[in-house]
Each structure stands twice: as structure tokens, then as C-alpha cells.
A and B are shown apart, each in its own frame.
Chain A
Amino acid sequence: MSNQNAPNDTLTDENLLARLKNDDREAYNMLVERYLTKLWRLAVNVLYNDTEAEDVVQEVMLTIWQKRQDWEEGTAKFSTWIYRVTLNRCIDLKRRRKPTIGTDTIEETMPSESQRPADQMMVDQQDRTQIFGLLQALPANQKAAIILFYYEELNVREISIKLSTTEQGARSLLKRGRKALKDMLESDKNHHHHGIQGSP
């Protein structure tokens, strides 16, 4: 089933990938539009360099088209796969800047169709809005540690001083805060996608 006439946002990645196998450029355009901003955010966050990020994102997006016939049964979801490929490219670039590590590259094969196609791993605008709500639900000291880390860019030692705790205590707050955010985000997503998956 190719769902040629379905609106963009009701098509799963797997729908689009199935159409891609038939050289459907419209499906490719939809897939690129769906992931472009997400991959861009990732690449610029990892690389801190717009030109390099642009190169990486272009290369990854073109790989999707060039390897469209290689889509096969495997273990990873498309979203996981594309995220990983982008990360690999970024890491590879960073490694070339700082040539102290080996030069092997990670083998990347196209993943299988997802068991849960609506389960997106990517960060979208909703996540961003949502996470600030979730942040408010954290215990005060965890929230403080997260805010100091991300927005004041303090290191663990500085956070420990600000919060009158030990460095180990600060590490623990950061770890528990992140884990709680991750769990809450996933829980919210599961609720959201449960409704979507029930649709025809």
C-alpha cells in the first residue's frame, strides 16, 4: 500500500520508504522535509560548525535516495538509523579535525521496517515545548542542576558549589534529572502515539 494521496503527516516513514523503492520523488521530498530540521539541529549541536553540518546533512539525505533499494529487514527503525548515520558522519568529521583516533568507519545498512512506525525518536517542536513543562515537574534540586548545566553551562564542580553539594552529588542530580526527563518524554509520546496508531 503506497498511500499516494494521504496527507504528508499521516504517512509513516515506512510508507514513504516503500514508495521510495519505486523511485517516488514526492515521497523522498516528504522524507527530507520531515527530517531536515531535526538532522540539522543534531549536526550543528555536535559539530558547532554550520558549513560542516550542512555537508553532513546533505550527504545523509542523498544517501537515503541513493540507497533506497537497499531498505531491508533488520533491527533498527528508520529514525534510529538516520540519526545514527548523521552522528557517525559528524563524529568522523570531528575525528578528522583531531586526528588521534583510528580511521575505521561504521558499516551502515538500511534498517528494516519498524514494528512501531509511528514511534518517532526525533525531537520535534512538540518535544521542545513539552520538555520545558516536564522540567517543571522535576524535584527542585534536579531541575536546578539541569538548568545550571544547560543554560549557564556550568561544569560539575561549579554546580556542586552552587547547590552546596559534593561533585558526586551534582553528578547524581544531573543523571537522575536527565533520566526522569527521558522517562517522562517517552511516557508522553507513548500516550500520544497510541491514539495515532489506532487510526486507519
Chain B
Amino acid sequence: MTKTITITEFKDLLETYGTDLNRWPAESQDAASALLEQSDAAQNLFADMAQIDQALTGNDSPLPQDLLDRILQKAQKS
């Protein structure tokens, strides 16, 4: 049987473990992903928390230099 979690449980886990679902308790990860897919409230909570996570972990891969140009070129053609 697939485990499910409520939005309250989701919020609690999100506030504890942040937005990297890989760091959540293993037994909650799939249920959290499923709730994220279905719930606007979960997505909004996640987006809010992502601000904190992103601000705290500023060591992302660099933005590809030509990505902006490629996007604008594709939009131009569409």
C-alpha cells in the first residue's frame, strides 16, 4: 500500500528537512512527491521554502553562457 501524507505533515517535514526530498525520511519521499504533484498548497509551501534553501546554498552550477541566446532564438522562431 502506498503511503500518503497530509498537507500538515508535508509542511512539518518541509520545515524540518527543506526542499531536497532526498534528505527527507525515506518512507515519506514518494508520498511527498505525489502530494507536490497534486496540491497547489504543497507547491506554494515548497516554493516559499525554496527561497531559503536557495539563498543558503549558493553553490549551484553556473548558468550556461549561451542559454539566454538560445531561448530567445527559439522564441523568435516559434
User: Which residues of A does B touch, CB under 8 Å?
Assistant: 25, 28-29, 32-33, 36-37, 40-42, 44-46, 50, 53-54, 57-58, 61-62, 65-66, 76, 80, 83-84, 87-88, 91, 94-95, 100-102, 104-106, 121-123, 127-128, 130-131, 135, 146, 149-150, 155-156, 171, 174-175, 178-179, 181-182, 185
What number of B residues sit within 8 Å (CB to CB) of A?
A: 43
When the two chains form the complex, which single residue of A40, A42, A101 contacts B37, counting CB atoms closer than 8 Å? A101
Q: Do B47 and A87 touch across chains, with their CB atoms under 8 A apart?
A: yes
Residues from chain A with Cβ under 8 Å of B51 in the complex: 121-123, 127, 182, 185
Closest CB in chain A relative to B36 CB, distance in Å? 6
A-B contact count (CB 8 A): 137
Interface of B is mostly: helix
Cβ of B1 within 8 Å of any chain A Cβ, yes or no, is: no
When the two chains form the complex, which single residue of B38, B44, B68 contacts A32, counting CB atoms closer than 8 Å? B68
Closest CB in chain B relative to A76 CB, distance in Å? 8
Q: Do A178 and B55 touch across chains, with their CB atoms under 8 A apart?
A: no
Residues from chain A with Cβ under 8 Å of B67 in the complex: 36, 40, 54, 57-58
Using known A-B contacts A37-B63, A150-B56, determine if residue A65 contacts B44 with beta carbons closer than 8 Å. no
Q: Do A106 and B52 touch across chains, with their CB atoms under 8 A apart?
A: no
Closest CB in chain B relative to A80 CB, distance in Å? 6
22 A-B residue pairs with Cβ-Cβ distance under 8 Å, sorted by A, are A36-B63, A37-B63, A45-B54, A46-B19, A66-B78, A83-B50, A84-B40, A87-B50, A91-B36, A94-B33, A101-B34, A106-B43, A122-B51, A123-B50, A127-B51, A128-B58, A150-B53, A150-B57, A174-B15, A175-B12, A178-B18, A182-B51
